[in-house]
A and B are shown apart, each in its own frame.
Chain A
Amino acid sequence: MTAIAPPVASARRRTKTRSEMRRSGWGRRGPLLPALVFTIIVTQLPFLVTLYYSLESWSLVRPGSQHFTGFSNYVQVFEDSQFRTTALNTVIMTVGTVLIAMLIGVGLALVLDRKFIGRGVVRTLLITPFLIMPVGAALLWKTTMFDPTFGFVNFILRPFGIGHFDWVSSFPLGSVMIEMIWQWTPFMMLLVLAGLQSQPKDIIEAAGCDGARPFAIFRELTLPHLRRYIELGVVLGAIYVVNDFDAVYMMTQGGPGISSANLPFYIYQRAFLGFQVGQAAAMGVVVVVATIIIATFALRLIFTSFSGTEQAA
C-alpha cells in the first residue's frame, strides 16, 4: 500500500460505478419523496376525483342520481352568466387588492426604513392585520367599522356630511376589497422592507456623490432593485387572494345578489347550497386550469429574476 493518499480533488472526480450512481440518485431523491408523495395523495387524488365528478350530473339532494353526462357541465359553466360575473369579480378583487396592498406596502416600507423613536413598536402595529383570523377580520370590519349606524367609519365621516351609509350593501365588492387590502398590506410591506434593507449602502452613497437628490435615488436605483421583491409579493399575494373564501362568506355572503361573490364562494354556493356537485366540480376545474396558465407565466418571471446568483456590483 502506498503511503501517499491521493488528493481529495481527484478522488471526487473518479467516475462512479453504475450502482453508485443509482444509489446516489436515490440518495438525492429520497428526502424529497415523503413530502412529494404526501402532497400528491392529498391534493391530486381529490383533484382527479373532482375531474371525474365534473363529467357527471349529480345532485346531492337526490342520491343515486349520478350519471355520466360528458362535457355538458362545462358547456353550462361557460354559458352561465353568473359564472362570468363572479369570474370578473374575482379578477377585480384580486388585481385591485394585490396592487393597492402593494402600493400602500411600498409606502409603509419606506417609512419603516427610516430611523425614528418607537420604530419597532410601529412595525408591530403594522404587521398585526396579517395575524388576525380572516373570518375575525371580516366580522370586525362588517360590524364595528362598516355598520351603518354604529360603525366607526361613518362616525369619522359624519363631519363631512355622510352620516348613515350602508357601506357593505352599497359597495359590496369595495368593502370586501378594503378588508382584504387591510389584511394583506403587512405582507407586501415586509417583503418590500426586506428589499429596501438588502440594498447595499455604498450604492446609495455613490449616487449621492454623483449628485443625485433623494427622489432621483429612489427612482433610478431603489425601484429597479425592488422589482423582484414586488414581483414576488404580487404573485404570492395573488395566489392567496384568488382563493380567499372567508372574507366574502363573512361580510356579504356574495350579495347583494352575486355582486360581491368571487369564484370560490360561487362554487361553494353551487356545491353546498345548490347541491349541484357536477357543476361545481366543473367550475373548479376551469378555475384551476385558468390559474395554472396565468401562474405559469408569472412564475417563470420570478424564476428568471431569481435564478442564478446575483453578484453585487
Chain B
Amino acid sequence: MATSQSITAQPTATSAAARRRRARRKRHGNSVTWGIVGWVLGIVFFFPVLWMVITSFKTEAGAYTNTPHIIFSPTLSQYRAVFDSGVWPYVANSAFATIVSTLLVLLLATPCAFALSLRPVRKTRDVLFFFISTKMLPVVAAIIPIYIAARDLHMLDNVFTLVILYTAMNLPIAVWMMRSFFLEVPGELLEAAEMDGAPLRRTVVEVILPVVAPGLAATALICCIFSWNEFFFAVNITATKAATMPVFLVGFISSEGLYFAQLAAAATVATLPVVLAGWVAQRQLVRGLSFGAIK
C-alpha cells in the first residue's frame, strides 16, 4: 500500500529529535513564505493609495516627472490650496447627509428586519426580493422624475433631499444585513424573556438589541461608506449649498486640465474619513461585508 511504503521509506537512522526539528522548521518556513506573499500582495494592492498620498505632498512640478520620485522634500502647499478653496461646507454637507440618512436607515431597517426574521411573515422571500430589486433599477433612469419632483417641491440643492435618497439607497442592504444578524439570535433568548414575563417591546430593547449591537454597528458602517462616497445623486441634485465631498473632488478638476498633486491632495482629503473609519472599525466592516455568508 502506498501509505505503509511512505512510512518504511523514512530512514531509520534519523533521530526523533532531528525529525521534530525538521518538521518545526518546515512549518516555520511555510509561515515565512506566506508572510512574504501576503505582504507583497498587500503592498501591491495598496500602492495606488500610497502613491496618491505621496503625490499629494509634492509640488506640481514635482508630480510631473518622467521618473516617479519617492524621495523628495514634502510640501503642504497642495493641502493649503485644498483647504483655502473652502472645503468645509462640503464636509459638513457630506457628514450631515451620511449621518442622518444612516440613522434613518437603522430606524427603519431594524424593525423591518426583526419582523422578517424573528416573527416570520408569509412571503418573507418576496419582501426580501422586492427590497433587493429596488437596487437593480439603474439610478440613471429614475433620476429624471426625481430631479423634476425635487425641483417642483423646491427641494433641489437641499441636503434633506440627499438624506431621503441615501436612505432609500441603503435600506435594502441594511434590511438584508440586519436580518442575518437577527437570525443569529438564539431562539432560547426570546423564550427565556417570554417566560420571565417581559412584553415584546422590552424584550427587544433589553435582550435582543445588545446581542445584535455589533451587527447594527456593521450595518451603520456600510451605510456610511456608501453614503459618503455617493456621487451621482449628489452631482445632479445639488448645486452650491448642499454639495458633498465627491462633488467637491470633481469640481477640483479645472478646465485647464488635471493638476496631479492638487488632485491627489483633494482626493486624500475627500477619502480620508471613510478610509479611517473603515480601518478603525475593521472588524465591523468585515462582519458587515460577510453578512450574507453568515446566514
Contact = CB atoms under 8 A, between A and B. Distances in A.
Nearest to A34: B108
B34 A111 contact: yes
Given A32-B121, A32-B127, A122-B41, A194 B294 contact: yes
Given A43-B134, A129-B45, A152 B68 contact: yes
B144 A53 contact: yes
Contacts of A295: 132-133, 136
A259 B133 CA distance: 28
Contacts of B130: 36, 39
Given A29-B121, A284-B138, A194 B286 contact: yes
B238 interface: no
A232 interface: yes
Interface residues of B, number: 99
A229 interface: yes
A36 B290 contact: no
B293 A191 contact: yes
Interface string A208-236: 00010000000000000000110010001
A191 B289 contact: yes
Interface string B270-295: 11001101110010011001101111
A264 B46 contact: no
B136 A239 contact: yes
B112 A34 contact: yes
Contact of A28 (B121, B136, B195, B292): B121
A30 B111 CA distance: 9
A313 B15 CA distance: 40
Given A131-B277, A132-B229, A133-B245, 17 more contacts: A28-B115, A29-B115, A30-B111, A42-B165, A42-B167, A47-B137, A50-B145, A119-B38, A125-B43, A127-B286, A133-B249, A143-B260, A144-B51, A150-B66, A155-B67, A245-B140, A288-B138
14 contacts: A28-B115, A32-B121, A38-B168, A46-B145, A50-B145, A115-B31, A127-B282, A128-B275, A141-B48, A149-B64, A150-B63, A242-B138, A243-B135, A246-B231
Interface of B: 3, 30-32, 34-35, 37-39, 41-43, 45-49, 51-52, 55, 63-68, 107-109, 111-112, 114-116, 119-121, 125, 127, 129-146, 149, 164-165, 167-168, 171-172, 175, 195, 200, 225, 228-229, 231-232, 236, 245-246, 249-250, 253, 258, 260, 263-264, 267, 270-271, 274-275, 277-279, 282, 285-286, 289-290, 292-295
Interface of A: 8, 27-32, 34-36, 38-39, 42-47, 49-50, 53, 108, 111-112, 114-119, 121-137, 139-145, 147, 149-150, 152, 155, 182, 185, 187, 190-191, 193-195, 198, 211, 228-229, 232, 236, 239-240, 242-243, 245-246, 249-250, 263-265, 267-268, 271-272, 277, 280-281, 283-285, 287-288, 291-292, 295-296, 299, 302-303, 306
